[in-house]
Structure 1
Amino acid sequence: MKAFSSRLSRRTFLKQNSLAGLGVALASSSVAALPAIGSKSAQVPAILGGPPAWAEDKWPIWPQWNPATDEKQLLEVVRSGVWSRANVVTQFEKEWAAALNVKRSLAVVNGTNALVIAINQLGIGAGDEVLVPPYTFIASVSSILSNGAMPVFVDIDAETFQIDPAKIEAKITPRTKAIMAVHVLGLPVDMDRIMAIAQKHKLLVIEDACQAHLAEYDKKKVGTIGNVGCFSFQNSKNLPIGEGGAIVSNDEHFMDLCYSYHNFGNPYGTAVGSVSTGSVMPGTKLRFSEYQAAIGLAQLKRLDAQTTTRNENAAYLKSLIKDIPGIVPYKLYDKVNRGAFHLFAFRYHKDGFKGLSRENFIKAVKAEGVPCMSGYSTLNTQPFLGETFKSENYRRMYPKEMLDINQYNEQNKCPVNDQICNEEAVWLTQNMLLGTREDMKAIASAIEKVHHNVDKIKTLGQK
């Protein structure tokens, strides 16, 4: 991930910029729909010594924790001495499945391994190709490589930041086994077109919904539309547990296999700790713990309300900034009923800011007390791919020409993604969307203030 000037990780970014108390509720709907934000635009920018538009310590802290309501079950688990997977994990799985309106859920150690397990139990491995967007976290691709399969990159739609369905069929070969639909930023992919392509070519669909908790497409929760959905509960996620993940599906047999694989290959239903049953398949140990599940159950109680707040604030903020020259907010597909808004993203066009670079735009906005970052670096050209192709296993599994990294890079060019990553994307984190409408106006004021004073800000780089 490429962050702002110091290239901080999103995790560090959240830790440093989430300093306030518990997230405040969305302000009353009586606030004017589109307030005048130009009143601050004539002020001296903070980067030039003026007052900031907002204070960083006013942003809602993340993750949220309320001792009065959240600690009872956690303390019961800790005091019980039953810490390995047992009844509380099963309770969490049932409640997460119910929240998504899906038959089964399996909690595992993290979202990355949720993807690894799902790919493995779909029978995807050596010699197979999986179509994947380049605008995603590395785990989407590493989970493919971990199973010995080959990632094939499909460029993105600049307006939505999602995999572009119009570019998928050109990448399908006889080796193609699946499409990984990544609901990146917590915004749903165009699932109608993905599913139609998959049906036409007899492909599997893996939904990487690790950033998309409770997002909806065509009145269905994302993660429940394809063959399997995977979620992450890492600390920055909308349902934070520190680490954790889940696999969901309506396919009972598939979920039985996933359970066995995550528990040493023991049959589904085998008690944790059993050593006499015998394994029915090769497996590993990727089990969830009871105290993680207790934290997850506490977080799940407020997730729906938080998701509503994020959606309302995202729409409001979008309305405030969409007409600022050079600012192009995210677009949702027509059938998206609800976003998760793990990140609020917009494209920055420097021509609208008289040539001010994205790096300097971000510095100026941050100086106003509004944390932001540039997001992902280009994933499809990173060195880990070439290093993987040099491994003994990959040299045994694939012909030499498929492992030529120069040829691979040429075939996997994604120019739209390059533009988004290297020049345009700007992110705000999900905890900021849990604030008030005054917070959203502060963000818009900061951007407008930079735009209004761009000539003076540009002189900083000339001194």
Structure 2
Amino acid sequence: MGHTSRRKFLRQSSLGAAGYLLGSGLVNSSFAATAASRTPAILGGQPLFNAASWVKWPMWIQSEDEQTLIESIRSGVWSRAKLVDEFESKWAAAIGTKRCLTVVNGTNALITAINRLNIGAGDEVITTPYTFIASVQAILANNAMPVFADIDPATYQVDPAKIESKITKRTKAILVVHILGLPADMDRIMAIAAKHNLVVIEDACQAHLAVYDHKTVGSIGKAGCFSFQNSKNLPIGEGGAIVSNDDKYIDDCFAAHNLGYAYGTSTGAIAGDSFMRASKIRLTEYAAAIGLAQLKRLEAQTNTRHENAAYLSSMLKDVEGIKPIKLYDKVTRGAYHLYSFRYDPAGFKGMNRAKFMEALRKEGVPCSGGYKVMHTQEFMREAFSSRVYKSFYSQKELNFETYKQRNDCPKNAALCNDAVWMTQNILLGSRKDMEGIAEAIRSIQKNAGKI
């Protein structure tokens, strides 16, 4: 789905009763009715969930969250100052990196991170086709060429085996996206990058506090980028961050986010003067105050999502036609910004995905079909028609039809056609809620012929 409709879905699906880790809003909390005997809601039965079943998102606890925010507003110090510094320090500590720089959103975190690695016109960046549009727009904003490597259909992450065949003499970086908040196969990706002298940037915009091999994602590559948009696991409304262990790199990013003014080890010819072309994408103090409030709950929430996702998957894995998303062996915690499974109509008497999702929504379980194929969309064609692309790439490279063929990713296309998503706030419910979701799906399956 496009970015507007996706965010509309994320916003609508989070509506419900306020509170942290709400108890179940189930109409039938005992689940005495079995999947075989109950009538699904789409056929006139009683829904398993009511409209207020799910934890409201974003979460705001007035008694705990408002003091710092109100103080920041009353102070009149609204541009970046002490609270932004404090949030950056605490976010770096949470991720396990030396440094953090906040910016206005995750998209600009990606744009800046790529830019300060001297990646630009004429260069290629390999990434996944299964991602939010911002990942690709960030590459295009730097006038580089996005190159897509197909996915691992079990994990939805970019397949390292597909990356190596895409490397050319123009390849500068691998933009790894930990999509849906689940870590990619970082051991193999880092090995490929080292072999070919490529830089790795982690798009962890959906993966707050996900852990791979005892390392929090975002801390493994050269740079990690995060988003704090309203639907994210740490919501600020808008906001983003770049993390790294490289002081010089983060100093360069800092200068780039502040009109090119020298900072730290980044110095111009004349001290205090701007020394690079740059933008101004600084975070505000009141945004940092919101982020600090959200950060207090993030660890516990992340553990709850991971545990509930594992429990839900354990109940769905034996349902014919439902294939829950898998984690790599070295993943010890998923962030689960989205919970997903693959849907096969054959397990539901030929019922198509749209009808299945309609039936699931009737049970009070919000869901969507997720991303569409990325590399065939019109924004790509528009970029290739620009003067800068025509100046640095050959006519053959910019032929949109041949570009689509070169970047065809059949496993990604199949996933776009059969994935079903649920938003992260669903996973903040109780184990009874997870049982209810599984019960709803089994009930739909048992009655698929009637539906």
TM bin (shorter chain): over 0.9
Displacement of 1:2: 5.8
In the alignment, is residue 432 of structure 1 matched against residue 426 of structure 2?
A: yes
Change (3 A) 1:279 1:37: farther
Q: Is the 8 A contact 2:317 2:323 kept in 1?
A: yes
Q: Is the 8 A contact 2:31 2:436 kept in 1?
A: no
> Residues of 1 paired with 2:32 and 2:149: CA distance?
39
Query: What is the match of residue 21 of structure 1?
Result: 18
Q: Is the 8 A contact 2:113 2:242 kept in 1?
A: yes
Displacement of 1:280: 1.9
Q: Is the 8 A contact 1:41 1:445 kept in 2?
A: no
Match of 2:323, SS state, is: strand
Displacement of 1:225: 0.2
> Residues of 1 paired with 2:32 and 2:406: CA distance?
46
Runs of at least 5 residues in structure 1 that lack an aligned partner in the other structure: 28-34, 271-275, 458-463
Within 5 Å, give how 1:160-309 maps onto structure 2: 160-268=155-263, 277-309=272-304
Displacement of 1:210: 0.1
Deviations 1:199-219 (A, max 9, x none): 000000010000000000000
Displacement of 1:84: 0.3
One-letter identity of the residue aligned with 1:450: I
Displacement of 1:38: 7.0
Among candidates 125, 134, 137, match of residue 139 of structure 1: 134
Change (3 A) 1:131 1:171: same
Change (3 A) 1:265 1:436: same
Query: What is the match of residue 441 of structure 2?
Result: 447
> Residues of 1 paired with 2:159 and 2:32: CA distance?
35
Query: What is the match of residue 103 of structure 1?
Result: 98
Query: What is the match of residue 90 of structure 1?
Result: 85
Deviations 1:256-277 (A, max 9, x none): 000000000001159xxxxx92
Q: Is the 8 A contact 1:181 1:205 kept in 2?
A: yes
Displacement of 1:321: 1.0
Moved over 6 A (4+): 35-38
Q: Is the 8 A contact 2:14 2:57 kept in 1?
A: no
Q: Is the 8 A contact 1:26 1:434 kept in 2?
A: no
> Residues of 2 paired with 1:322 and 1:236: CA distance?
27
Match of 1:207, SS state, is: strand
Within 5 Å, give how 1:34-73 maps onto structure 2: 39-73=34-68
> Residues of 2 paired with 1:291 and 1:194: CA distance?
38
> Residues of 2 paired with 1:163 and 1:26: CA distance?
36
The TM-score with structure 1 as length reference comes to: 0.93
Among candidates 371, 379, 382, match of residue 387 of structure 1: 382
Deviations 1:155-174 (A, max 9, x none): 10110000001111111111
Displacement of 1:151: 0.1
Q: Is the 8 A contact 2:14 2:425 kept in 1?
A: no
Displacement of 1:11: 3.8
Displacement of 1:8: 3.7
Larger mean CA deviation between 97-106 and 50-59 belongs to 50-59
Among candidates 355, 358, 365, match of residue 353 of structure 2: 358
Q: Is the 8 A contact 2:121 2:388 kept in 1?
A: no
> Residues of 2 paired with 1:189 and 1:26: CA distance?
33
> Residues of 1 paired with 2:71 and 2:49: CA distance?
41
Q: Is the 8 A contact 1:213 1:239 kept in 2?
A: yes
Among candidates 386, 404, 407, match of residue 402 of structure 2: 407
One-letter identity of the residue aligned with 1:10: R
Change (3 A) 1:287 1:131: same
Q: Is the 8 A contact 1:213 1:340 kept in 2?
A: yes
In the alignment, is residue 326 of structure 1 matched against residue 321 of structure 2?
A: yes
Match of 2:233, SS state, is: coil
> Residues of 1 paired with 2:339 and 2:13: CA distance?
18
One-letter identity of the residue aligned with 1:437: R
> Residues of 2 paired with 1:439 and 1:291: CA distance?
35
Displacement of 1:41: 3.8
> Residues of 1 paired with 2:36 and 2:287: CA distance?
46
Query: What is the match of residue 113 of structure 1?
Result: 108
Q: Is the 8 A contact 2:203 2:225 kept in 1?
A: yes
Q: Is the 8 A contact 1:43 1:50 kept in 2?
A: yes
Change (3 A) 1:319 1:242: same
